[in-house]
Amino acid sequence: MIDFDLNDCELKRCPRCEESLPLSEFGVCRARKDGLNLYCKRCIRQKIRLGRQALREYKKLRSKHRITTNGNSSVAVVTAPPSLSSRRLARMLRKLSPADRVREAIRHGAHTQKEIAAMTKLPKDEVCDALANLLLWTREIRTQIIDHHRMYFVNEGLAPKHKFPEPQEPRSHGVSSIYFSV
């Protein structure tokens, strides 16, 4: 039988709580060299609890500021009061997908790529991807060149996303269907 002494036990330092704890206080993580999580179990539980609390607060604020989705499509619409400060609007936009953020920025007065990037706090490539998506696929926005600057505007009436042709009756060429499987 082996005697375990607290002094013989290996310790690991948690960088979050800055305590040296026995290895049994760290969860398993196969991706790390030592096979243990970086943070102790207590810190991870605290982090998860704080994340869940932040999610609850976000959902509460979302319902408070009426950020909703349309029943017809998955378009998020911010129906916040028009007197909303730009900082508060930017904070609300961060909770949306990049395409939704770009659409809402255009709705609230940003018309050039620089203005949209500044309002949404998105990198240029994400702004361009979202604009391409909104222009080409969903057709929710339109573009116009004014004084040598490309400006973006929200389309008033949304066009249907995709129109597929109606299925037609299969043609009968006077040949039995058993020959079509060959």
User: What residues contact residue 146 under an 8 Å CB cut-off, 6+ apart?
Assistant: none
- Is residue 166 included in any domain, yes or no? no
User: Contact at 8 Å (CB) between 106 and 117?
Assistant: no
- The domain tally of the chain equals 2
Task: Please indicate, yes or no, if residue 91 is contained in any of the structural domains.
Answer: yes
The answer to whether residues 49 and 75 belong to one domain is: no
Residue 151, phi then psi, degrees to nearest 5: -115, 145
pLDDT in tens, 30-61: 999 999 999 999 999 999 998 898 888 877 77
Residue that the structure tokens 């060149």 belong to: 145
Q: Flag whether 178 is in a domain.
A: no
pLDDT at 14: 94
Helix (H, G, I), strand (E, B) or coil at 172: coil
Handedness of CA 51, 121, 61, 158 (dihedral sign): negative
Enter the pTM of the model.
0.40
Q: Are 135 and 75 within one domain?
A: yes
